[in-house]
Structure 1
Amino acid sequence: MKIGSVIKKCRKLRNMTQLQVSALADVSESYLSLIEKDKRQPTLSNLESIADALQIPVSILVFLAAKQESISEITDTQIESLTKTIYSMIEA
């Protein structure tokens, strides 16, 4: 999954609009929209701001966006289980 798709999913799980997140992250709504569509890659600074707005650690966003084959230390089943658990925690 790409980082923009993860941001969008987390934003929706938090029941937040693009306008709310963009205002809290101090980025334009149109820029956030492009990120969520994976048409732009956020800078590290913007990623940190967006993560703060979503109240999710950057490391969690990066983990969720990581390709499963790049996480060789754990099995696909473990990754899937962790991902589901993380999304459940975000939604709560």
Structure 2
Amino acid sequence: MLPIGQTIKELRLLKGLSLAQVAQLSNIDKSYLSKIENNKRDPSITSLEKICIAIEVPLSILILMCDENKSGPFSTLTDELKELAREIIRV
């Protein structure tokens, strides 16, 4: 799995949002959010939910985007879903 912080940062940037904007929208301290994105802190489920609401991405999509399993029967489907999610998020 990709570190969740890296995925949050990717999604935030796809949405064109700054760290400060997401911190304000999620009511999470900017320095704490930065630590999450840099994988120095593990966020709680509550924090993840707030971040997802701020970036307008369902928690289930965030979790899907973290999946880096390159083998198995679902790997192709997962990759296709990730690309579709990226396209939708950019809009």
Instruction: Please tell me the residue identity of whatever aligns with 1:86.
Output: A
User: In the alignment, which residue of structure 1 is the partner of 2:77?
Assistant: 78
Cα distance in 2 for residues equivalent to 1:39 and 1:15: 23
Q: Which runs of 4 or more aligned residues in structure 1 lie more than 6 Å from their structure 2 counterparts after TM superposition? A: none
Instruction: Please tell me the residue identity of whatever aligns with 1:30.
Output: S
Instruction: Please tell me the residue identity of whatever aligns with 2:76.
Output: T
Q: What is the percentage of aligned positions where both structures have the same residue?
A: 32
Q: Specify the SS of the correspondent of 2:41.
A: coil
Q: Deviations over 1:23-54 (max 9, x none)?
A: 11111111111111111111000000000000
Kept in 2, the 8 Å contact 1:2–1:66? The answer is no
Structure 1: gaps of 5 or more residues: none
TM-score of the pair, normalised by structure 2: 0.90
Kept in 1, the 8 Å contact 2:8–2:62? The answer is yes
Matches within 5 A, 1:35-74: 35-68=36-69, 72-74=72-74
User: In the alignment, which residue of structure 2 is the partner of 1:32?
Assistant: 33
Cα distance in 2 for residues equivalent to 1:39 and 1:66: 19
Kept in 1, the 8 Å contact 2:49–2:59? The answer is yes
Structure 2: gaps of 5 or more residues: none
* RMSD (CA atoms): 1.5
